[in-house]
Structure 1
Amino acid sequence: MSDLLEIDRLKVYFDTREGTVKAVDDVSLRVRRGETVCIVGESGCGKSITAMSIMGLVGSNAAAGPFVDGQIRFDGRNLLRLDRNELRTIRGREIAMIFQEPMTSLNPVLPIGEQIMEPLIEHLKLSRKAARARAIELIRKVGISRPEQIAKSYPHELSGGMLQRIMIAIAISCNPKLLIADEPTTALDVTIQAQILDMMRQFKADSNMSILLITHDLGVVAEMADYVVVMYSGKVVEEGEVVELFTNPKHPYTRGLLKSKPVINRRQDELYSIPGQVPNPLELRPSCYFHERCERCMDVCRTREPRLREVGDNGKVACWLYEEAVVHA
């Protein structure tokens, strides 16, 4: 499979009164055509900022943004070099995004139907009549009954699960090549979560769409991913194919994440939690950022930053445990 999206050494830095926050620091990843890639990690590790950078919602193309450097190549084009108008032709048409909170992502004063119609009119140049018919069809396609009535409803009149389905309807309305889903099952009950994930899988199968899925739920990762990228404090610490990563995790942080997940049919009085806290982004120094929480920390971890290196057939890890010259020194 060829690459649809390739992020190369992306940096997103925010200047604050206290100092510079490196929200995304030298991140590289790729999404192949027809592939589902999951980005996983704790809150604040840079997952959503990476996604928003792809959409042009931070940096020089945003109304006001941070320092952004690197390359984001989508279908041969560097998105960071496009102007606002060029990005508008891609957003919603070729790249669509499901945001984390549907209630705050939808316009509260516009009917649902109007919001689904907007990208159809803007990108596909449909007439209002054709766009309304297509909007009703999309509402039905995402599993909501009474689509004609729902199209006339406002966001506050629908449940969280219905709103997330509407967000999916908007995202797939123009048959995008890449769907970015930022925590699409947050705050939904498990039954609705399963329905949402099944729906995304079906749309992917129908159109050979690629998915970049952002989550902290390892159950969702195991169910959806072909390839997994693990982030910590703005950096990629491990990546690999989903089966290999779950059966043979290499980075101590990845092992900690997997260890903290409850196991069916195993009684546990207390769930495991990774000791310590995520480091303050304003106080990061050259080191492995995970060293204060790592059970296998070495002296070199405190003073030098490990590089992301290839391990095995199709995986990478940034950990001094895999630098033979250091381990055997």
Structure 2
Amino acid sequence: MSKKIVEFKNLCVSFKVEERIVNAVNDVSFEIRQGEVLGIVGESGCGKSVTSMSLMRLLAVPPAKYESGSIYLNGIDILTLSEEEMRKRRGSEVAMIFQEPMTSLNPVMKIGYQISEVITIHHKVSKKEAKKRSIDMIKLVGIPRAESIYDSYPHELSGGMRQRIMIAIALVCNPQVLIADEPTTALDVTIQAQILDLIKNMREKLGTSIMMITHDLGVIAEMADYVIVMYAGKVVEKAKVREIFNNPRHPYTIGLMKSKPTFEGNTSKLYSIPGQVPNPMELPNYCYFYDRCDRRQDTCKKGIPELVKVNDAHYASCYILGKEGNNE
């Protein structure tokens, strides 16, 4: 079995908003191994991005607060590190591709400077060497005229090219873990496919572990080895990607799978899960999915369900799963 690079243990993160507490991440546990692509899926507001930002330690404290739990990166709990110690690890051990490259890139600084800056922060190299590495990285992510792009500003590039530059910045110091937070948002379908292919190629060339954050099940099916399904800040199911798609067990995961459009010519209305996600300021003391679940029973109100083993490496948090993981 490959080396464990990242491990989340019972992480709880909250935000203080106008004297009230928003419970954004609730008792989240999972791991990422070397060279593995972990997909985290769920609807907007389920805690995907807060989880990824926690690994980068980019949440402002306050208003954010790490209530409990640990995040281990190469065996070290990063929540115990000083900001200076964490800064050394960003870019070199863990890096992130953000959702919107136009707002993530500095609009008044040239592309070359923004890539070179990452290199000079983590490595003692000359400006000439940093420039060479930056241009090589621009070429590696598939952008032509690399020397010209090095001297360009972000607004002079297309959306797809800016996203490639974000990937170049994230990978230029060969981090062990790459977080891709909705990396294909706002890109057309052709460019989306190119970006996903690029991430796959980078993984194969550099052996990088990837945390893929998305609400797009198609991206998960194509990219992930292992999948975590989140709902209301909590992990409700986790399994290998084929197991999740072929044998979903949590009612929420089943609902997500039913809501996918297909090419089978079915003209009926697309399925949607009824109801609304619970208010994160007023989470119930029982199953968070109870009010939307078409299989709910009285037993579902006896408390918040723990993850139950369905079979090898497949877990779901549902009271109606039997001892052998059956919820038929």
TM-score normalised according to structure 1 size: 0.95
Q: Name the counterpart of 2:8.
A: 7
Q: Name the counterpart of 2:99.
A: 100
* Residue 62 of structure 2 corresponds to residue 64 of structure 1: yes
Distance 2:183 2:130 in 1: 25
Q: Is the 8 A contact 1:119 1:170 kept in 2?
A: yes
Give 1:192 deviation, angstroms: 0.7
Distance 1:63 1:73 in 2: 19
RMSD: 1.6
State how many pairs are aligned.
324
Counterparts of 1:163-312 in structure 2 under 5 Å? 163-312=162-311
Deviations 1:193-227 (A, max 9, x none): 11111111111111211000000000000000000
Q: Cα gap change, 1:236/1:63 in structure 2, threshold over 3 Å: closer, same or farther?
A: closer
Q: Name the counterpart of 2:55.
A: 54
Give 1:106 deviation, angstroms: 0.7
Structure 1 stretches of 4+ with a deviation exceeding 6 A read none
Give 1:17 deviation, angstroms: 2.2
Which amino acid in structure 2 is aligned with residue 196 of structure 1?
Answer: I
Structure 1 unaligned regions, length at least 5: none
Q: Name the counterpart of 1:38.
A: 39
Q: Name the counterpart of 2:118.
A: 119
Deviations 1:23-68 (A, max 9, x none): 001000100111000000000000000000110112xxx4634220
Give 1:166 deviation, angstroms: 0.3
Deviations 1:56-88 (A, max 9, x none): 112xxx463422021100111110000011101
Give 1:190 deviation, angstroms: 1.0
Distance 1:142 1:215 in 2: 21
Distance 1:323 1:19 in 2: 37
Deviating more after overlay: 118-127 vs 31-40:
118-127
Q: Is the 8 A contact 1:33 1:209 kept in 2?
A: yes
Q: Is the 8 A contact 1:18 1:282 kept in 2?
A: no
Distance 2:139 2:322 in 1: 54
Q: What SS does the aligned partner of 1:271 have? A: coil
Distance 1:266 1:33 in 2: 41
Q: Name the counterpart of 1:129.
A: 128
Deviating more after overlay: 154-163 vs 166-175:
154-163
Q: Name the counterpart of 1:29.
A: 30
Give 1:251 deviation, angstroms: 0.3
Distance 2:201 2:125 in 1: 25
Distance 1:272 1:18 in 2: 38
Question: Between the two proteins, what is the percent identity of the paired residues?
Answer: 55
Q: What SS does the aligned partner of 2:167 have? A: helix
Give 1:323 deviation, angstroms: 4.6
Which amino acid in structure 2 is aligned with residue 76 of structure 1?
Answer: G
Distance 1:6 1:284 in 2: 26
Give 1:179 deviation, angstroms: 0.4
Q: What SS does the aligned partner of 1:14 have? A: strand
TM-score normalised according to structure 2 size: 0.96
Q: What SS does the aligned partner of 1:113 have? A: helix
Q: Is the 8 A contact 1:179 1:210 kept in 2?
A: yes
Q: Cα gap change, 1:92/1:321 in structure 2, threshold over 3 Å: closer, same or farther?
A: same
Distance 2:279 2:45 in 1: 10
Deviations 1:155-177 (A, max 9, x none): 11111111100000001100110
Distance 1:253 1:303 in 2: 19
Give 1:267 deviation, angstroms: 2.7
